[in-house]
Chain A
């Protein structure tokens, strides 16, 4: 079930990623099922539990896998027909360990810059600058094998950044980091997006990471797109207003129902259906009628977890359909 909450106000030329009916199977297992979505400039979270299809989607966007069906463009390049051109414009940070232990950090980042088309002299300079930027300026002439997990994650980020990509695909960049390291990595990703203006697509199963740095989100489960849109729209476009009363909320609920609103009541709290701004007038009038003392009322703001749970298809159904096991409990 795909939930299209709000179309971004942006022309197609500016979209970082656009897909239509993108599908990928591994034998009988559907890793990605007719995924249709757009990613606008900024930082976009790719959210889903382990096995949701995030890494498959990233590999399809890099042109490393060929889709079985559908089409996709990234940075204006078709993933089927222009895989080499798109990889010049995209930086990739894999989830797993992928660094050569006996290379110096500076040499490796420079090498990746050259592979992405930078002239040698430029690559040397930019490798230094990028390693400074990710906080490894002093350690850049050390062998990567001696680095901590946090430092290795920074080298991975630097190699994805060195060639000044149009977009960066970061696959679980906070994996294996302690809380302080995670904070620093997320701050770095925030700076890359908001200060340097590089589009970031951040794949994660951690809601808290996405909420912290992403402007938009694409939510996946069992290979399907559950929801997409800007974080602000997704979290605010909730058709409910929360009303807290001093005493029982039942009389107020009854008065609102008489006015045609759907209401869920629980002791001193109500969830009132939101259709327009007029709901606030109706609540005021109903409160007068029911002689209810309203403590506060506010538009209900969803967390990403609410959105995820609301859009999630049942795991049993997904398995019957031959999808990868979507383990919602794996999403924290």
Chain B
């Protein structure tokens, strides 16, 4: 008998470990888990984690560029030993193309490859809906954009507060700056994130999606600038064409909030806020509509 061949303590410790496929009767998590899994995967994908080096270069370079001005400003303040006046509007204005480029590159990376390689047919066969997929991709891009549009400036604010003679006094005196930074950062992230997603949802080629988005923003900026601001083309209501300038639209909201560049506002500042929110809503509706139609 087999038992006779195994004796003593060894027989009680002997185990057969099967590495093969096993049935699973444990817990199966719900929709919230699937949504989080998609969101986390998109966040990692957006910055090239678990991907080859070439996928990491541009996102991390742009993130580094976005952090550079606040770090330099804080460095100068440390050297000078004093807090400089509010630098937010100038920095945001100079860095807006970095935000646009990041949104264009990452949006196409998140949406186009899944459709081009038809991976969405597998995703949609999982217990999620198309809307869940779209929401996870949009949230991930907006979150990544917040890393560029919000985090460096919150860091700058609290860095300045730490350099100030009284941390608490600085924060309470400049609370409006913090509020404006939060609104501007969130608005920039949603505005460019959703707009880039809307463009990317119309093509499965990354180059077309990125190029299309950059083209749309630049052309609208040039057209809006010419129609609203040229001294030679003056007609009734020309200033309203500043609303079609997609590059400057959220920046004008920022100028309105901070109130330190009144020349940027050709019409009442609230109009720029409503126009920005309309672009966000329209972009989200376009993405949802495209994915309701897209073939799996």
CB pair A111–B37 under 8 Å, yes or no, is: yes
Interface mask (A108-135 → B, CB under 8 Å = 1, otherwise 0): 0001101111111010001001101100
| A101 beta carbon closer than 8 Å to chain B | yes
In the complex, A122 Cα to B24 Cα: how many Å? 9
> Is B52 a contact of A87 with CB atoms below 8 Å?
no
Chain B residues, CB < 8 A from A126: 22, 24
Query: Among the interface residues B20, B41, B127, which one has the most CB atoms of the partner chain A within 10 A?
Result: B127
Any chain B CB within 8 A of the CB of A92?
yes
CB of B7, distance to nearest CB on chain A (Å): 33
Residue from B26, B55, B118 in contact with A122 in the complex, judged by beta carbons closer than 8 Å: B26
Considering the complex, which residues of chain B in the window 105-144 have a beta carbon less than 8 Å from any beta carbon of chain A? 113-114, 117-119, 121-129
B50 touches A99 (CB 8 A): no
Additional pairs, 11, CB under 8 Å, beyond known A112-B126, A118-B28: A59-B296, A64-B125, A84-B127, A94-B118, A94-B125, A96-B118, A99-B117, A100-B119, A102-B55, A115-B123, A197-B23
A328 to chain B, nearest CB (A): 27
Tell whether B19 is near chain A: CB-to-CB under 8 Å.
yes
Q: Cβ of A163: which chain B residues have Cβ within 8 Å of it?
A: 24, 28
Residues 122 to 173 of chain B near chain A (Cβ within 8 Å): 122-129
Q: How far is the CB of B55 from chain A (nearest CB, A)?
A: 7
Closest to B37 in A: A114
Q: Which of B1-59 contact A (CB under 8 A)?
A: 19-24, 26-31, 33-34, 37-38, 41, 50-52, 55
Asked if A98 and B122 sit within 8 Å, CB to CB, the answer is: yes
In this assembly, does A225 line the interface, its C-beta being within 8 Å of a C-beta of chain B?
A: no
Q: Is the interface of B mostly helix, strand, loop or mixed?
A: loop
In contact, A111 and B113 (Cβ under 8 angstroms): no
A190-223 contacts to B, CB under 8 A, are 196-197
24 contacts between A and B (CB under 8 A): A84-B31, A87-B127, A90-B125, A92-B125, A94-B125, A98-B122, A99-B119, A100-B113, A102-B51, A107-B50, A112-B126, A115-B34, A116-B126, A117-B30, A118-B24, A118-B29, A119-B26, A120-B37, A126-B22, A126-B24, A129-B20, A129-B22, A133-B20, A163-B24
The interface residues of chain A lying within 8 Å CB-to-CB of B29 are 117-119
* Beta-carbon nearest neighbor of A63 in chain B: B125
Question: Which residues in B have their C-beta under 8 angstroms from that of A240?
Answer: none
A268-294 vs B, CB cutoff 8 Å, 1 = contact: the mask equals 000000000000000000000000000
Chain B's nearest CB lies how many Å from the CB of A86? 8
Tell whether A64 pairs with B33 under 8 Å between CB atoms, given A87-B127, A98-B119, A116-B127. no
CB A60 to nearest CB in B, in angstroms, measures: 13
Which residues from chain B sit less than 8 Å from chain A, CB to CB?
Answer: 19-24, 26-31, 33-34, 37-38, 41, 50-52, 55, 113-114, 117-119, 121-129, 296
Question: Please, how many angstroms separate the alpha-carbon atoms of A309 and B51 in the complex?
Answer: 51
Are A115 and B128 in contact, with the CB atoms below 8 A?
yes
Bound form: Cα–Cα A161–B122 in Å:
13
Instruction: Tell me, rounded to whole Å, the shortest Cβ–Cβ distance linking B34 to chain A.
Output: 5
Say yes or no: A87 contacts B126, CB within 8 Å.
yes
- Nearest B residue to A87 via CB reads B127
CB of B57, distance to nearest CB on chain A (Å): 14
Once A98-B121, A114-B33 are accepted as A-B contacts, the answer to whether A164 and B23 lie under 8 Å apart by CB is yes
Q: Which residues of B contact A122 (CB under 8 A)?
A: 24, 26
A10-B231 Cα distance, complex, nearest whole Å: 84
**Central interface residue in A97, A101, A111, A130, by most chain B CB within 10 Å:** A111
Q: Contact: B122 with A159, CB < 8 Å?
A: yes
Query: Given the known A-B contacts A87-B126, A117-B34, A126-B24, are A101 and B117 also in contact in the complex, defined by CB atoms under 8 Å?
Result: yes
Which residues of chain A are near B51, meaning CB under 8 Å? 102
- Provide the residues of chain B in CB contact with A196, threshold 8 Å: 21, 23
Whether A132 and B20, one on each chain, are in contact in the complex, defined by CB atoms closer than 8 angstroms, is: yes
Verify if A104 is at the interface (C-beta below 8 Å from B).
yes
CA distance A85 to B27 in the complex (A): 14
Q: Specify which chain B residues have a CB less than 8 angstroms from the CB of A107 in the assembled complex.
A: 50
Does B127 contact A117, Cβ atoms closer than 8 Å? Answer: yes
Asked if A88 is an interface residue, CB under 8 A from chain B, the answer is: yes
With the chains together, A133 CA to B22 CA distance in Å?
10
Neighbour of B21 across the interface among A92, A97, A104, A161, CB < 8 A: A161
Q: Nearest-CB distance from A153 to chain B (Å)?
A: 14
A76 to chain B, nearest CB (A): 15
A43 interface residue, CB < 8 Å from B? no
Given A114-B33, A129-B19, do A119 and B27 touch, yes or no (CB 8 Å)? yes
Contact between A64 and B114 (Cβ–Cβ < 8 Å)?
no
A62 within 8 A of B: yes
Residues of A within 8 Å of B20, CB to CB, are: 129, 132-133
Interface residue ranges of A46-103 to B (CB < 8 Å): 59, 62, 64, 84-85, 87-88, 90, 92, 94, 96-103
Residue of B nearest to A158 (CB): B21
A88 and B28 in contact, given A102-B52, A117-B127 (Cβ under 8 angstroms): yes
**Which residue of the partner chain B has the closest CB to A98?**
B118
Interfacial chain B residues near A159, Cβ < 8 Å:
122
The interface centre, meaning the residue of B113, B117, B124, B125 with most chain A CB atoms within 10 A of its CB, is B125
